[in-house]
Each structure stands twice: as C-alpha cells, then as structure tokens.
Amino acid sequence: MEKLIKPLSGYLALVAALACAVLSVICFVNVEGADGTNNPLFIILGIVLVIAFFFLLKGLMIINPNHSRVLNFFGKYVGTVKENGLFFVNPLFSTVRVSLRSDNLQGQTLKVNDKMGNPIEIGAVIVWQVGDTYKATYDVTNYASYVRTQSEAAVRHLAGSFPYDNLEDEGADITLREGGDTVNRILEQELTDRLAPAGIVIKEARISHLAYASEIAGAMLQRQQATAIVAARAKIVEGAVGMVEMALQKLSEKDIVELDNEKKAAMVSNLMVVLCGEKAAAPVLNTGTLYQ
C-alpha cells in the first residue's frame, strides 16, 4: 500500500553542499605549506569535502506541483513524497517520478457488435489520474498502457451489453443511443473496477462517438425513416377519425342536413381521403343531387 513520507528540507542540505564545495577549494589551494611540501591533512580533508558535496547534491530532490516521487532502497519500497518543494533524501534511494495530474484519454473509434449483433462504431473520452502511486509503480508494468488497454476492453464490453436502440429490442430499458448519463455512469463504474489494481482514479467517462457501421448505416437509416413515417401516419389517421366524428356530430346536432348511412359512408370516405392524403385534394363540384 501507498505510504506517504515527508523528507528533510533540502535548503539546509543545499547550503551544506555549497559550503563543502567552498571549503574543498580552500583546502586544495592551501595544500602546499610554507616550506614547499604538501600537507596530507589538507589533501584528505579536501577529498572528504568533495565526496560530501556530491553526496549532498545527489540527495537533493525537487518535486513540482501535482507530481510525486516513489522512493526505493535496494528493492524495498520506502514511501512516496507528494509534497512540493526542495527536499533531501538518502542519496542511495532510487526515485521514480509519477505525475498526479489529470489526463485525457481519447480512445480510438472501435468497431464492435451491440447486444443484438449489429455492427456499430463507438468511442469514449476518459479523464483519469493516478491515485495510488505504489500500485501504479509496482503492481503494473506501465500504468499508462494499462489504462489504454483496459479502457478499450471496457468500451467493447459496454457496447456488447446494450442494444444500439430499441428498434429490435423494444423492451430494452437502456440503449446506447438514448441511455445518456446512465450509460456514462455504467462505463465510469466499469472503468473504476478495471483500473483499481493500477491505482487509477476515473474522474469522468463519456461516450464521444456512436454510430452504426458504414455497411449497415444506410439500411438502418431507411428503417428509422420508415418507423417515423408509420408513427406519423398513425397520428394523422387518429386525428382524421376524430375530425370526421366531430363533423358528423355537429351536422346531426344542428340539423344542417339529414344523412342516411349511405351518405355518411360517402362523406366519411371523402373526408378521410382529404385529411390523410399527402397532397392537397382537388375538389369536384356537384351541380346535381347528392346521388348524381
């Protein structure tokens, strides 16, 4: 599990390193004594100060905002530093930089089959960030590649779990085309479950592209148009029947004309043709009786 640690401030170590550098220069400059012989004490002290300089310099570590360092000591996990600033750690520690910034993954458009077996094209946009640096560093080989692969698998599984629309599956409660936020929440939850082993947090996941595959897009468009036409015709017929019924009722109430069953049938037929026709009716004037 992730363990947060707070190292020593690096400013004191930086000052000590600079002091060691200055003192080592002084030692090497004054290594020759007044009698012309070299003083071994100054040589040893200068070498020690140089080693101390590089030792302190190696232990300095700068962490920028929304970044972290994972510390490892000869194969053993030591901890993670998430605070920002200049720090000093054991120079023998190996460090791994892990970004804590949010990242966007624009998945490629995938060609898969929906629940009904229809080929569709689907793509998603995912916003993610590293939540557990230990898992991201040690539980997977490459967490960025892991996110891409598992995201593609989650989108494929989502597409195969629901129909594109309810034309074939009229009893479907959720469809990819009309699911909206519900489908996005399902995708987000599945991504969270899949990426949890890598310490990845999913902040948002949305379907960015959804369409029938090109080989069936034309046929499905015609089917959708036919469904829309049938629904419109049903509404037109329903309204026309109501208007004919109202016309007959008004004529009967006001005694404008007395119609027998044959006349009513002719009137109903004419009104239905006028009201349900796609084009405007061309009236024919009858100058004789109703029976001519």
Contacts of 115 (CB under 8 A, 6+ apart): 160, 161, 162, 163, 169, 172
Q: What is Dmax (Cα atoms) for the chain?
A: 149
Q: What pLDDT is attached to residue 40?
A: 75
Residue 25 is classified by DSSP as H
Q: How far apart are the first and last CA of the chain?
A: 97
Q: What pLDDT is attached to residue 28?
A: 78
Q: What pLDDT is attached to residue 216?
A: 61
Q: What pLDDT is attached to residue 220?
A: 62
Residue 282 is classified by DSSP as -
Task: Specify the 3-state DSSP secondary structure of 139.
Answer: helix
For 110, left (φ over 0), alpha (ψ -120 to 50), or beta? beta
Query: Domain 103-212: what homologous superfamily?
Result: Band 7 domain (3.30.479.30)
Q: What pLDDT is attached to residue 37?
A: 61
Q: Tens place of pLDDT for every residue, the chain, 292 residues?
A: 889 999 998 999 999 999 998 988 888 777 665 555 666 777 888 889 899 999 999 999 999 999 999 999 998 999 999 999 999 999 999 999 999 999 999 888 898 888 888 888 999 999 999 999 999 999 999 999 999 999 999 999 999 988 888 766 566 688 888 888 899 999 999 999 999 999 999 999 999 988 888 776 566 666 666 666 666 667 777 776 777 777 767 766 666 666 666 666 766 676 666 666 666 666 665 555 555 5
**CA distances, 235 to each of 229, 239, 275 (Å):** 10, 6, 12
Domain boundary assignment for the chain: 8-98, 103-212, 217-276
The strand ranges marked E within the chain are 8-9, 60-63, 67-73, 76-81, 85-88, 94-99, 103-106, 110-113, 119-130, 200-212
Q: What pLDDT is attached to residue 274?
A: 65
